[in-house]
Structure 1
């Protein structure tokens, strides 16, 4: 894993180079010579924090179509109201 350091100015001038470098390892971005940010690939980020599901993935419920669901039909009879 290589670590690349770029200044904020270099990042603004050649973002694609920093993105390519982030595929190989973290890219440290400096402001006035001091580390200020780190650019990571999404794979490295997910590995770092642990992959979590988003709301859409959580609600998708994979495999749900394989479950048979046949609810009982209920019959509701109407009756007149007793207002007395």
Structure 2
């Protein structure tokens, strides 16, 4: 199956369609008829970069994921103490 190619206008109008197409293989996005970007599924990206598929998500991955709001996060309370500055 040949790679999918779409222009940037179509990509802007139908990003969901481009994401669906990326499940089948790379999607080349063109600007003025020339390839400018490539959209890959996360699996294809990980295979390309050698990143383990079962690796824990990074904080950037979690912040970008709307479903991450369900991830439990209870940071420890900070125990800061205030003391006067020594200006002497």
Structure 2 counterpart SS, 1:24: coil
In the alignment, structure 1 residue 43 sits paired with structure 2 residue 40: no
Contact 1:22 1:39 in 2 (8 A): yes
> What is the RMSD of the two structures over their aligned residues, measured on CA atoms?
1.8
After the TM superposition, which segments of 4 or more aligned residues of structure 1 sit over 4 Å from their partners? 52-56
| Structure 1 segment 44-63 matched on structure 2, within 5 A | 44-51=44-51, 53=55
Give the structure-2-normalised TM-score.
Answer: 0.57
**Aligned counterparts of 2:57 and 2:30: Cα–Cα separation in 1:** 34
Structure 1 residue aligned with 2:6: 6
Q: Radius of gyration: which is bigger?
A: 1
Aligned length: 56
Write out per-residue CA displacement over residues 7-59 of structure 1, whole angstroms, 9 at most, x where no aligned residue: 00000010111000000000000000000000000000000010155686xxx
